[in-house]
Amino acid sequence: MNTAFLMTTFAGLSTLIGTIFIFVKVKNENNILIASLSFAAGVMLTVSFSDLLPESFLSLKEVFYGFPALLIMLIFYVVGILISMFIDKKMPDENNNHLKRVGLISMLAIILHNIPEGIATYLTSTNDMRLGIALTSAIALHNIPEGISISVPIYYATRSRFKAFGYTLISGLSEPLGAILAALFLSPFITPGIMGILYAIIAGIMTHISVYELLPTSLNYQNTKKTLCFFLIGIAFMLGSHILFS
């Protein structure tokens, strides 16, 4: 089996490490929810602003140059926010199902994020194995909190470890799906412009989820200090991983 595909699969399935919290018994479940939701919000915002948007601009700059590239990035960033708002309105929000909705919206955003990420990981690993290993390691690390953002809310909403693990697995498998699409169909059609637009849209979706879903849901448990603390830990975690793998 292709080494690049195995590396992409490893990066995607590292999302499952984030499910560890659904198998741990705790006295105060609210603390787990506050920590996981606010931590995931910090991670998603950092991924949006330190990874996706800069990568979007650099990709678009190869095609449009300077200010037009910046303008196109911002337009599609807003498009991403609007898409997330639309999905948000279409998802049911019935009483204690709100947590489940948060988990499902996070899963959809992460799938959209993982497919182009899988394409990029596969193509990079195929062309430069050393760079591919560094990229795979960085992606695997930041996929762990993404797994937390899906599994924890779904578990506490449904009390089903099977559902929480299953939804997280689906999101993780979207990464090797991206590799398969790249290998079989998309390689000739993937341009810097298309990738730049995709990254901007995904950044918008993740920003909306962080600001309008994850953080407000965490704040519902009425512990602002813990929410802020774990939000900042999420940001620090991602910035630290950037330094480690830069």
Domain-located, residue 63: yes
φ/ψ of residue 159, rounded to 5: 60, 25
DSSP labels for 17-63?
GGGGGGGS--S-HHHHHHHHHHHHHHHHHHIIIIIIHHHHHHHHHHH
> Average of pLDDT values for 14-24?
89
Domain-located, residue 26: no
* Position with higher pLDDT, 93 vs 174: 174
pLDDT of the residue at 92: 63
Asked whether residue 197 carries a pLDDT value surpassing 70, the answer given is: yes
pLDDT of the residue at 1: 52
> Average of pLDDT values for 11-39?
86
pLDDT digits (tens, 9 = 90+) for 214-225: 898 888 887 889
Contact between residue 15 and residue 165 where contact means Cβ atoms under 8 Å apart: no
Average of per-residue pLDDT values in the chain: 85
pTM over 0.85: no
Work out the burial of residue 203: count CB atoms within 10 Å of its CB; fewer than 13 is exposed, 13-18 middle, 19 or more buried: buried
Half-sphere exposure of 165 (CA within 13 A, CB side): 8
**Domain enclosing residue 37, as ranges:** 3-20+31-245
The tally of domains found in the chain comes to 1
Number of C-beta neighbours around residue 18 at 10 A: 23
Distance, CA of 162 to CA of 173 (rounded, Å): 16
Domain-located, residue 25: no
